[in-house]
């Protein structure tokens, strides 16, 4: 390794309720890179919107070095967020991030962090990803961002990550970019991470493992249903996709899923709607239309019957 290898400064902006696992999976590889290379390749600092100790989703508090009204220099700044990032509206933080961008810092978001970068107008016309739980709301709120359901995305001066253990994969990729494959492999090995995943890998388990279903025809139809919640696919077309009759498909659904096609499709749409109510400020009618309902009243009836409360009550608790 060259003696004059520059030291990079990495900032972590922690939003209250940030996901501790995602944050530690991002910062620990930097420590390991320094230790294994026996050089100070990375330095880091922490910021919080208030400048006061900031609490993670599990209650652990981190003492930041500064608030977002303090000017700090960095090569890369990662925004770490969890919970419901759509409710974060601190304008001074948005301005602080935009100033960092103007100064040439690379900006990243981890887990729910991309939501905050997008709110600051810093992801327009960029490719980005974030945790699968936030993807539907994000797509509705930021149509000018090219959203992909990958583990992480490195798009020029913007880096986004879906969170969890994928932050480790992302940091190993960045260490390889900065300091070569040998050190990156050593960092992965240090954390017993024997299979480093590429950024384009899927965020979620294959449906067969997630739902415990082995039947290929049912799995194919479930995949089509999950991808078409706004414009629902008629049951006969789902049967055609599976290559069997509608009666056979209904029988397979009752056998493997536990209920019929219509009921499961309705559940998927209402679950998506609940995420949108919690994580966006979209009007109830827009949420209804985004999940395949023709009117707010039709949506409200189905939602109340399923969740025991009207959509307005779910929205009020966010």
For residue 316, pLDDT beyond 50:
yes
Report the pLDDT averaged over residues 188-193: 88
Q: What would the pLDDT profile of 49-69 be if each residue is shown by its tens digit? A: 989 999 999 999 999 999 998
| Residue 25 token pair | 């999976």
**pLDDT for res 2:** 43
Question: How far apart are alpha carbons 68 and 66 in whole angstroms?
Answer: 7
**CA-CA distance, 280 to 303, in Å (whole number)?**
17
Q: Write b or e for each residue in 226-235: b if 16 or more Cβ atoms lie within 10 A of its Cβ, otherwise e.
A: eebbeebbeb
In this prediction, residues 63-77 reach a mean pLDDT of 93
Q: Which of 211, 195, 194, 127 is CA-nearest to residue 161?
A: 127
- Order the strands of the 8-14 sheet from edge to edge: 66-67, 42-48, 8-14, 76-81, 106-111, 158-161, 152-155
* 181 C-beta neighbours (distance < 10 Å), count: 11
SS3 at position 159: strand
Which pLDDT score, from 0 to 100, does residue 206 have?
57
Spell out the domains of the chain, with CATH numbers in brackets.
Answer: 8-190 (3.40.50.880), 207-316 (1.10.10.60)
Alpha-carbon gap, residue 187 to 281, rounded angstroms: 41
| pLDDT for 6 | 84
Higher local confidence (pLDDT), 256 or 316:
256
The two beta strands, 42-48 and 158-161, are unpaired
200-213 mean pLDDT = 62
Average pLDDT over residues 234-256: 92
pLDDT band (50, 70, 90) for residue 230 = confident
- The per-residue pLDDT for 301 is 93
pLDDT at 315 exceeding the cut of 90: no
Average pLDDT over residues 167-196: 90
pLDDT at 317 > cutoff 80: no
Q: What's the confidence (pLDDT) of residue 1? A: 41
At 211 the pLDDT is 67
Residue 158 near residue 123, CB atoms below 8 Å? yes
Average pLDDT over residues 298-304: 93
Summarised one tens digit per residue, pLDDT across range 89-130 is 999 999 999 999 999 999 999 999 999 999 999 999 899 998
State yes or no: pLDDT of 209 exceeds 60. no
pLDDT digits (tens, 9 = 90+) for 155-173: 999 999 999 889 999 999 9
Q: What's the pLDDT score for residue 208?
A: 65
């Amino acid at each position: 390794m060259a003696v004059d290898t520059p030291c990079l400064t990495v900032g972590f902006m922690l939003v209250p309720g940030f996901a501790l696992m995602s944050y530690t999976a991002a910062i620990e590889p930097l420590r390991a890179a320094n230790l294994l290379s026996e050089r100070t390749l990375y330095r880091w600092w922490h910021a919080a919107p208030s400048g006061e100790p900031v609490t993670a989703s599990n209650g652990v508090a981190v003492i930041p070095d500064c608030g977002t009204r303090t000017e700090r220099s960095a090569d890369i700044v990662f925004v770490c967020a969890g919970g419901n990032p759509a409710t974060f509206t601190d304008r001074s933080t948005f301005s602080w991030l935009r100033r960092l961008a103007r100064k040439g810092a690379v900006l990243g978001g981890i887990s729910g962090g991309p939501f905050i970068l997008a709110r600051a107008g810093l992801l327009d016309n960029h490719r980005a990803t974030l945790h699968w739980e936030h993807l539907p709301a994000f797509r509705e709120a930021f149509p000018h961002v090219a959203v992909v359901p990958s583990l992480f995305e490195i798009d020029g001066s913007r880096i986004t990550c879906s969170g969890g253990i994928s932050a480790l994969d992302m940091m190993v990729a960045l260490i390889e970019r900065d300091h070569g494959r040998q050190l990156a492999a050593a960092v992965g090995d240090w954390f017993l991470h024997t299979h480093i995943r590429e950024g384009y890998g899927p965020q979620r388990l294959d449906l067969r493992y997630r739902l415990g279903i082995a039947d290929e025809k049912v799995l194919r139809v479930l995949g089509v249903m999950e991808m078409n919640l706004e414009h629902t696919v008629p049951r006969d077309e789902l049967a055609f996709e599976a290559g069997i009759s509608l009666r056979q498909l209904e029988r397979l659904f009752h056998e493997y899923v536990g209920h019929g096609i219509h009921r499961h499709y309705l559940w998927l749409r209402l679950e998506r709607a609940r995420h949108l109510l919690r994580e966006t400020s979209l009007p109830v009618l827009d949420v209804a239309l985004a999940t395949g309902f023709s009117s707010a009243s039709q949506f409200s009836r189905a939602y109340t019957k399923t969740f025991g409360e009207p959509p307005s009550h779910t929205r009020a608790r966010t």
